[in-house]
Amino acid sequence: MKAAVLYERRTPLVIDDLDLASPGAGEVEVRLVASGVCHSDLHHIQRDTPTILPVVLGHEGAGIVTAVGPNVTRVAPGDHVIIAFGPKCGECYYCVRGMPYLCTPARPARPRLFKNGQVINQFLEVATYAERTVVSEKNVVKIRDDAPLAVCSLVACGVTTGIGAVINTARVEPGSNVVVIGTGGVGLNVVQGARLAGAARIIAVDVRDNKLEFARAMGATHLINAAREDVVERVRALTGGYGADYAFEVIGNPATINQAYESIRKGGTAVVVGVADENAELTIKPVWLMRQAKTLMGCAYGSARPQVDFPRIVDLYMEGRIKLDELITRRFGLDEINEAFRAMEAGEVARGVIDLA
Ligand code: APR
Ligand code: ZN
Ligand code: ZN
């Protein structure tokens, strides 16, 4: 089975032939149809993160169940599924409280990928830059058969994270003024989440004009190019001098997190969606946090419950209420994966998708 393996940080992924375990108890095998290219994968190539190498990256995938192990009840061969990344044990402190995005399982998943007997890790227990994968049945969510799977792969991360940040995490009210800093694959979904929530002004901020045009197509009402304009000043001017009700940072950079925090009004909420470097630190004056009664929130995986949210998001797409096709700028073969990362880093695409079927 072919998969893209990261053997060494800051080197290209290697397309390699790996052995995949048969699904064990509670596990399923999925033939992947597509996997979106998310900036989080690139972080693990470029940065020193806790992820152990070698690893097959990819966490934004969808496909068709091809085999199930003993005691699998949620899906059967032939089912169309979107893969939910990260542990989802269903039993830990967080899972039982409805926060699977914080799952802290008692046991790690067993190894399922091998090269000549050597274990190859599965990124976030899913490893979707591969022709097939074996995952826990808790990591797959069955969806309707009539939804195009390649497009639905984006629901596995970017779409759910972005829309979820607005709807689940911040709970933006209709009529709110919303700022989105960083309108890449995830940020564009924060923009469309804000539109879905009935936001009044949706102010998109990026350093690239092409990204701002994508944001306009997803529902942004105002565009700010941070390379040329003062973001905080422009946001104030667009919000009657007060600042926005909500600001979302979707880059993972302390400077832009500060910008989000400065862009909100007194009593407003700034939400950190972007993944910062492991050692990055944020400086905020606590006296102003208190005096201005601001809220600074973290958002992991759009605070989503994938079994509930994925089918809902797919329905919204099928009903024409959210846009997914427009997010996909370019499609690549698995052997073009390094080019797909280059295109993302160069800012050429809204989202790139790897076709695997
Ligand atoms: N100010 C404004 N926009 C910026 C800045 C900046 N200083 N620096 C980068 N950007 C923009 C880029 O131009 C790009 O459009 O941020 C966007 C990032 O988008 P992508 O590269 O497509 O990344 P994405 O997959 O959306 O992920 C964004 O969220 O999930 C996390 O790990 C992910 O930290 C990453 C972030
Ligand atoms: Zn992602
Ligand atoms: Zn759990």
Please state, for a pLDDT cut of 90, what percent of the chain lies above it.
Answer: 100
DSSP structure string for 154-182: GGGTHHHHHHHIIIIII-PPTT-EEEEE-
CB 154 near ligand 1, within 6 Å: no
Residue 36: name the closest of 155, 120, 189 by CA: 155
Phi, psi of 211 (to 5 degrees): -65, -35
- Largest Cα separation within the chain, whole Å, is 64
Helix then strand then coil, % of the chain, to nearest 5: 30, 25, 40
Give the alpha-carbon dihedral of 161, 167, 170, 173, to 10 degrees: 150
What residue spans in the chain does CATH classification 3.40.50.720 cover?
162-300
Contact predicate 249/180, CB 8 Å? no
The DSSP H or E segment spanning 247 is strand 244-249
Contact predicate 332/353, CB 8 Å? yes
The stretch 30-55 carries a mean pLDDT of 97
Q: Which CATH number fits domain 2-156+324-355: 2.30.30.30, 3.90.1170.50, 3.90.180.10, 3.30.200.20?
A: 3.90.180.10
Q: What is the pLDDT of residue 348?
A: 97
The stretch 107-131 carries a mean pLDDT of 97
Q: Model confidence over 86-100: pLDDT tens digits? A: 999 999 999 999 999
Phi, psi of 158 (to 5 degrees): -55, -45
Q: How far apart are CA 20 and CA 68, in angstroms?
A: 14
Whether residue 147 is predicted with pLDDT greater than 90 in this model: the reply is: yes
Tokens representing 167 are 């709807």
Neighbours of 214 (CB within 10 A): 25
Ligand nearest to the CA of 231: 1
Ligand nearest to the CA of 154: 2
Q: Which of 43, 44, 80, 222 is catalytic?
A: 43
Q: How far apart are CA 114 and CA 20, in angstroms?
A: 7
The stretch 318-334 carries a mean pLDDT of 98
Q: How far apart are CA 92 and CA 79, in angstroms?
A: 27
Q: What is the pLDDT of residue 5?
A: 98
pTM of the complete model: 0.98
Q: Which residue's CA is the nearest one to ligand 1's atom 20? A: 184
User: Which positions ≥6 away from 190 have C-beta within 8 Å?
Assistant: 162, 163, 165, 166, 180, 183, 248, 250, 273
Q: Which CATH number fits domain 162-300: 3.30.43.10, 1.20.1420.20, 3.10.180.10, 3.40.50.720?
A: 3.40.50.720
Q: How far is the CA of 183 from the centre of ligand 1 (A)?
A: 6
Active site residue 92: no
Whether residue 21 is predicted with pLDDT greater than 90 in this model: the reply is: yes
Q: What is the pLDDT of residue 276?
A: 97
Q: What is the pLDDT of residue 153?
A: 98
Ligand 1 binding pocket mutation candidate from 153, 251, 253, 349 (most atoms within 8 A of CB): 251
Whether residue 357 is predicted with pLDDT greater than 90 in this model: the reply is: no
Active site residue 40: yes
Residue 239: name the closest of 210, 199, 274 by CA: 199
Q: Model confidence over 174-231: pLDDT tens digits? A: 999 999 999 999 999 999 999 999 999 999 999 999 999 999 999 999 999 999 999 9
Q: What is the pLDDT of residue 39?
A: 96
Whether residue 316 is predicted with pLDDT greater than 90 in this model: the reply is: yes
Mean pLDDT of the chain: 98
DSSP structure string for 277-323: -TT------HHHHHHTT-EEEE-SGGG--HHHHHHHHHHHHHTTSS-
pLDDT-based confidence at 296, cuts 50/70/90?
A: very high
What residue spans in the chain does CATH classification 3.90.180.10 cover?
2-156+324-355
Ligand 1 atom closest to Cα of residue 227: 1
Q: How far apart are CA 216 and CA 153, in angstroms?
A: 23
The stretch 58-73 carries a mean pLDDT of 98
